[in-house]
Structure 1
Amino acid sequence: MHIDGLEVFVLRAPHTDRPHWVSHFTVASANEILVRMRTSEGVEGFGLATSYASAEPIIQAFRNGIGEQIIGMDPLAPERLHEAVLSLTSQRLAHEKGWGREALIRIAAAVDIACWDIIGKMAKLPLHRLLGGYRDRVPCYVTCAYYRDGKDLVELRDEMQKLKGQGHTGYKAKVGGVTLAEDMKRLEVVRDVIGSDNDLMIDANRAWDLATATEAIGLLEPLRPRWLEEPVRWADDRRELKLLSQRTRIPLSAGESELTAYGCRALLEERAIQILQFDCTMFGGFTEGRKLAALCELNHVQVAPHHDCFIHAPLVASTPAGCTVESFTDPERDPLQAELFENPPNIADGWVTLNDAPGLGLTLADAALRKFGERIL
């Protein structure tokens, strides 16, 4: 068996007049690469790559021949295929073709996920069983409380009441975009609406220096957050996370901003975090994701991947280290979660129940591809 066909789409949503902000950058409502892979035996699978930066380098790599490096390879040998694509980052060919390092890492991720979708279909098993089979449903939380132009505490309260009405049991609020005093007022609204029995997670998106983060943890502890995510700025975050963890009882989390699995490994080696949040659609796919999950289990660290809950749920469900997945139930914030699949797994009462169909168990919606997709290969 070999790969004998690729279709590649860039998925985008129209720009909104009121973009969603985190601490220091806007978040696109859709900016993903979809790879549909066909084998010589007619089996099809798909994978996704997420990018917060421009997708143009990824698009240009596909238009400039990267697919030729993938066609003909064995989809049942994902380790070999992942190594082959990743090794291009150190080869002259990539420079000659203009294939950037980050673009290749994203492409390797999408192709790897497509391989595992095919492997599951060939084995006639859903991925959560193939990868370990620990359970068939996982907890999920909703990410919310973004900054938006003109958004006041009244609008924030309305947002939280709407989400609570949807039955969520975990909520992750954004901080770091205003002063600590202003953020505390926002978080008090969030905690007041969701109540004391529901989980509150707090995400600074690498906004604070160590001194500010140290001040913040003292203010946040009375709110009993389940975790504080990426609290410190990027330049020395691994060491500063370790120092901060020694100053607080709040569990710290990180990992989504790493470029490779090796960066996540370093976070574990520093004993800087209690929750790892790698993203299979940004680096590594399931080939690296399952290694990180195993490493977390052996180091008593929980796995709570970043973004794309329906992609990550099978991996989280496969391992005892699996903690939770991140969901976005506002179609304006994430229309792909709402529309990309004909058969999205059911989210109810704070849990995602996985489909029992083989592979990813997901069927792409043609209407969503027409609405959001532009074919580039």
Structure 2
Amino acid sequence: MKIVRMEAYVLQDPGPSKEHWVSHFKVPHANEILVKLFTDDGIEGFGLATSYTSNEPMVKVLKDGLAELVIGEDPLAPEQVYHKVFSLTWKRLAAEKAWTREALVRLSAAIDIACWDIIGKATRFPLFRLLGGWRSDVPYYVTCAYYQEGKGLPELRDEMHQLLEQGHTRFKAKVGGLSLEEDIERLETIREVIGFERDMMVDVNRAWDLRTATRAVRLMEPLRPRWLEEPLRWTDDRHETTRLAQRTHIPITGGESEMTVEGCRAFIDERAISVLQFDVTMMGGVSGGRKLSALCELNHVDVAPHHDAFIHAHIVAGSPAGLIVESFPDPSRDPLQAELFENPPVMRDGQLFLNEDPGLGLTLSERAIDKFGTRIV
């Protein structure tokens, strides 16, 4: 089997939407690259590349000849295809064309996911079964409590009541954008609404220094968070995360901000985290995700990937280390989760039930591509 054609689209939200801020930056509502691969056997697959920075570097790579390097490759050999694209990060061709390292890392992930989608369709198995088939449904949580203009404690309380009415059972709240005392008050408000029988996770998005984080975990302990995510600033986060983990019983998580599989490995090696949150649409693809899942299993670390629940559910369901996936039920925060697929997995009573269709088990919505997509190649 050979790849004979590639298509790629920028996926962005064209309409106005209320801003969603975390501790120190605004998250995009839709900012992904869709890659579609077509084979000489008539099988096609797709992958996504996610970025919180501009998509323009990836657009440049795609317009400037990346497809020519992939056409003719065997999608049933995803390790070979991935290596060919990723290895451009240290080759002269990338320098000559001014292709950035981040763009190549992201696109190698999307192409790898598309290859695995093709593998599943060629073998007629859903991806989670090819990855081990540990289970066919996985828990999910919703990310909420973003900072927004005009949103105080009453509005936060209303948001949490609305999520409960929608049937959600686990919640991850954003902190780090206000004083520690104000953020603790926000967490107390959430606990008051959801009770202690439901999970509450806390996400700092790398906003605190070690001294603030040490104070925070002491103040949070009575609120019993399931985990504390990316608490430390990027400059020395691995070392400081290890030190923080030694000072609290609250599990520490991280990994979504890493650029490589090897970066995530270092987090595990340093005993810094209890839960790894890599994102296969940002680095590594399915090939990298399955390696990290195996490494987590052998090191007694749980897997709870970042973003794109319908893709990451296969990684989580395939491995005994798989813990949970992240979900964004508010279309104003993530319209792609709401509209990109014709057959999204059923989400009910806190569980996501994977489709048994082959590959990723997802059918792209042409209407959504017309709405959000701009064709690149």
Q: Which residue of 2 aligns with 1:99?
A: 99
Tell me the SS of whatever aligns to 2:235.
Answer: coil
The residue identity in structure 2 corresponding to 1:258 is E
Tell me the SS of whatever aligns to 1:111.
Answer: helix
Q: Which residue of 2 aligns with 1:198?
A: 198
CA distance, structure 2, for counterparts of residue 226 and residue 196 of structure 1: 11
Q: Which residue of 2 aligns with 1:26?
A: 26
Q: CA deviation at 1:326?
A: 0.1
Unaligned runs of 5+ in 1: none
Change (3 A) 1:39 1:17: closer
Deviation per residue, 1:71-129 (Å, 9 max, x gap): 11110000011111111011110011111100000000000000000000001000010
CA distance, structure 2, for counterparts of residue 187 and residue 72 of structure 1: 53
CA distance, structure 1, for counterparts of residue 136 and residue 358 of structure 2: 13
Q: Which residue of 2 aligns with 1:172?
A: 172
Q: Which residue of 1 aligns with 2:67?
A: 67
Q: CA deviation at 1:67?
A: 1.1
Q: Which residue of 2 aligns with 1:333?
A: 333
The residue identity in structure 2 corresponding to 1:26 is K
Is the CA contact 2:17–2:332 (under 8 Å) kept in the aligned structure 1?
no
Tell me the SS of whatever aligns to 1:177.
Answer: coil
Tell me the SS of whatever aligns to 1:135.
Answer: coil
Is the CA contact 2:175–2:183 (under 8 Å) kept in the aligned structure 1?
yes
CA distance, structure 2, for counterparts of residue 161 and residue 291 of structure 1: 39
Q: CA deviation at 1:17?
A: 5.5
| RMSD (CA atoms) | 0.7
The residue identity in structure 2 corresponding to 1:164 is L
Structure 1 stretches of 4+ moved >6 Å: none
The residue identity in structure 2 corresponding to 1:84 is K
Q: Which residue of 1 aligns with 2:129?
A: 129
**1:299-314 residue pairs with structure 2 within 5 A?**
299-314=299-314
Q: Which residue of 2 aligns with 1:289?
A: 289
Q: CA deviation at 1:168?
A: 1.2
Is the CA contact 2:18–2:332 (under 8 Å) kept in the aligned structure 1?
no
Tell me the SS of whatever aligns to 1:27.
Answer: coil
Deviation per residue, 1:204-239 (Å, 9 max, x gap): 000000000000000011100000000000000000
**1:1-377 residue pairs with structure 2 within 5 A?**
1-14=1-14, 16=16, 18-377=18-377
CA distance, structure 2, for counterparts of residue 80 and residue 225 of structure 1: 42
Give aligned-pair identity as a percent: 63
Deviation per residue, 1:283-309 (Å, 9 max, x gap): 000001000000000000000000000
Tell me the SS of whatever aligns to 2:182.
Answer: helix
Q: CA deviation at 1:149?
A: 1.3
Q: CA deviation at 1:167?
A: 1.2
Deviation per residue, 1:324-366 (Å, 9 max, x gap): 0000000100000000000000011100000000000000001
The residue identity in structure 1 corresponding to 2:324 is T
CA distance, structure 2, for counterparts of residue 146 and residue 332 of structure 1: 12
CA distance, structure 2, for counterparts of residue 311 and residue 145 of structure 1: 24
Q: CA deviation at 1:15?
A: 5.6
Residues paired across the two proteins, number: 377
Unaligned runs of 5+ in 2: none
